[in-house]
Amino acid sequence: MIRKTGFLERGMLFGGRLSPLQFAFKTRIKGAFTNDEFEEALKKVKKRHPLSCVRCVQDDSGSFLFTDEGMDTIPYRIVEARDEETWVHVIENELSTLFDYEKGPLLRFVLVRSPLYTDIIPVCHHGIADGIAGVYLLQDLIRFLGFPHEQVAVIKPAEPADRLVPDEIIEKALQSGPGLHSFDSREISTPEKPAEPVFKVIPWTVEREKTRKIIHLSKDKKFTVHSFIGACFLKAFARLYGKGEGYNRIIQSPVNIRPQLAADLSGVFGLYISLIMAQIDCSPGRSVLDIAGDINIEFKKLISSCSHLRMYAAIKKGGGKPGKRRKPTKNYDFSLSNLGLLDYPVQNGSLETTDFYGPVFSAVGERVIGMNTFNGILYFSIVINIHDFNAEDILKLKDTAMEELNKVLD
């Protein structure tokens, strides 16, 4: 398998040479399966999703390509569970362990084994996939484990996102409003050659009944769960830092662009995301519900205007030339990466999936909150590099946000 890379894929691959650009999930499985059975399931995943086991090479013309040449298997290792938090420490370590994109593969697994369960942890380079793709792959893996005789239906890798922007969207996207870094606000500086990161992962859940209330409230108020959770955190930032830094706070979110591209990408393992950002008035007199409504309005405007597709449209119209590169800024309070409601079976044969954390992203110079809803429960994780932020401050931020959430629900 050989496929040309897209510009965002290349950017992720090259950026990940000095500082990690990768993400992980963790899902707990109850029910027995052997290492041999896991290896067979990995073989099926590799066959179904060819981009899951590749490296990046440069041809004679200078083009960068994904190839599976010399890539026999998706690697994995086994760790013995010492306690309930073993998986957290595994992910913290894995996020700081760089991939070599020239050697590959760009996906690996860790199994945290206990007599009572196995935690499956995929770690993926962001250059080959996004969080939605990771869910597709992990769902297939567990299905192959639970139903070992199932035949593999191969999903052919699609073109990169910059080659799939529909013609009717190109001009609309290019004429849209300001880009990501248009806010004159706080900026977190990241050194050109950052020190080796030390990640701290803080996971937690919202119980089933409260999750149900959040979904019902969001539907009733006509905003998304994403907007509501984002509002709880923006309110927390305003409470903790507004007096000194100001009450106009900024939220960034990755957005799945598959529905807007000119291909059926359901189930496809690949990188099909962009980013949106909104600055919201979080003055003391404004409630979480007010803030959630504003986030919802702003994000809808950005998506409907196709401003998040500007970079893809510019590349396609310009014949693949990215133009002048801008130095990235991180002037937002946090990035909220939400996989939404996972349509993910709890039972696969004799195997039961009991939880699902992720995406957990290698956050350098930023605070990243991952979330999803699985089996009626909201799963969260905050990731920081302790060289950038104080862990106690992040715990206080998380507790303050959950306090705001409970005020609304109680």
Q: pLDDT by residue (tens digit) across 335-347?
A: 999 999 998 899 9
Lowest mean pLDDT among 260-264, 278-282, 353-357: 260-264
On the question of pLDDT at 224 being above 70, the answer is: yes
Q: Quick check: do 2-146 and 162-409 share a fold?
A: yes
For residue 176, give the nearest of 165, 192, 187 by alpha carbon.
Answer: 165
DSSP codes of every residue in 331-358 = -SSEEEEEEEE----SEETTEEEEEEEE
347-348 vs 76-80, strand pairing mode: unpaired
DSSP 116: S
On the question of pLDDT at 292 being above 60, the answer is: yes
Cα separation, 24 vs 91, whole angstroms: 7
What integer pLDDT is reported at residue 310 of this predicted model? 85
Element housing 232 (H / E): helix 225-245
Amino acid at 66: F
What integer pLDDT is reported at residue 180 of this predicted model? 42
What is the percent of the chain with per-residue pLDDT over 90, rounded to a whole number? Answer: 82
2-4 vs 334-341, strand pairing mode: unpaired
Question: Would you list the domain boundaries of the chain?
Answer: 2-146, 162-409
Cα separation, 319 vs 42, whole angstroms: 37
Average pLDDT, integer, range 188-204: 75
What integer pLDDT is reported at residue 192 of this predicted model? 55
CA distances from 300 to 223, 255, 278, 297 (A): 10, 11, 11, 5
Cα separation, 282 vs 239, whole angstroms: 9
CB 100 within 8 A of CB 307: no
Supply the pTM of this predicted model.
0.93
Cα separation, 237 vs 246, whole angstroms: 10
Angle at 401 between CA 96 and CA 121, to 5 degrees: 30
What integer pLDDT is reported at residue 34 of this predicted model? 98
Element housing 58 (H / E): strand 55-58
3-state SS assignment for residue 103 = coil
What integer pLDDT is reported at residue 194 of this predicted model? 61
The domain defined by 2-146 folds into Chloramphenicol Acetyltransferase (3.30.559)
**Bridge partners (DSSP) listed for residue 276:** 253
Average pLDDT, integer, range 111-129: 98
What integer pLDDT is reported at residue 175 of this predicted model? 81
Angle at 403 between CA 252 and CA 239, to 5 degrees: 60
Average pLDDT, integer, range 260-284: 95
Residues 6+ apart with CB under 8 A from 370: 131, 337, 338, 339, 357, 358, 359, 360, 361, 380, 381, 382, 383
Cα separation, 410 vs 398, whole angstroms: 18
232 confidence band (pLDDT: 50, 70, 90):
very high
What integer pLDDT is reported at residue 319 of this predicted model? 52
What integer pLDDT is reported at residue 25 of this predicted model? 98
Lowest mean pLDDT among 120-124, 150-154, 162-166: 162-166
User: Both tokens of residue 8?
Assistant: 């965002």
- Range 83-118 burial, b when 16+ CB lie within 10 A, else e: eeebbbebbbebbbebbebeebbbbbbbbbeeeebb
**Beta strands, E only, 172-312:** 199-206, 248-256, 273-281
Residues 6+ apart with CB under 8 A from 59: 65
The domain defined by 162-409 folds into Chloramphenicol Acetyltransferase (3.30.559)
